[in-house]
Amino acid sequence: MQECVQKFVEQMGLVCEKEGMPRSAGRILGLLLAEEGPFSLDELAEQLQASKASISTNARMLEQHGMIRRVGALGDRRDFYQVEGDPWERMLQVAQDRWRDMVRVFSAASAGFPAENATGRRRLADAGRFHQLLLEESRKLVDTWRERRGAEAPDGPGAGAAEGGENASK
């Protein structure tokens, strides 16, 4: 691995750790962003000098957050991982799903609180309104991101389609 890539990978690990993710997850994401993929779990473990179990656990977590995706390779039973076509938009979509859940939870809970618990009802209603605002504003953010990505990205609109699809191989 090139020194500049190694430095980036380590920085991504630290940044993601500050965001509450395991450092290993950030390192996986950093490598997949910086290098042409897809990579098998064995290859990721070797490149990052980490255990295959740790890589597997953190790769699944990144997949659940929409940052990377698992792909197959024709004739190979192993799983391979690569960056999602647009990980930033996908990450926001995953967050939107969580915010929708929060709106439902806060709304249902505040409606069920007795009138004498006005403070709790108010706090839950505020939390629901806040998460609703996040949803509304994030939709605008996605639209703006799509416009900018289409206008500025060297790979242009639909770039994810050229990244290997479901039958990518090394």
For the stretch 78-105, pLDDT in tens is 999 999 788 888 888 888 999 999 999 9
**Relative orientation angle of helices 23-34 and 41-48, to the nearest 10 degrees:** 100
According to the model, what pLDDT value does residue 90 have? Answer: 85
Q: 117 and 146: one domain?
A: yes
Mean pLDDT over the full length of the chain: 87
CATH number of the CATH domain containing 74: 1.10.10.10
In a domain, 165, yes or no: no
Q: 67 and 125: one domain?
A: no
Segment 121-142 shows an average pLDDT of 94
According to the model, what pLDDT value does residue 157 have? Answer: 42
Strand partners, 73: 76
According to the model, what pLDDT value does residue 12 have? Answer: 96
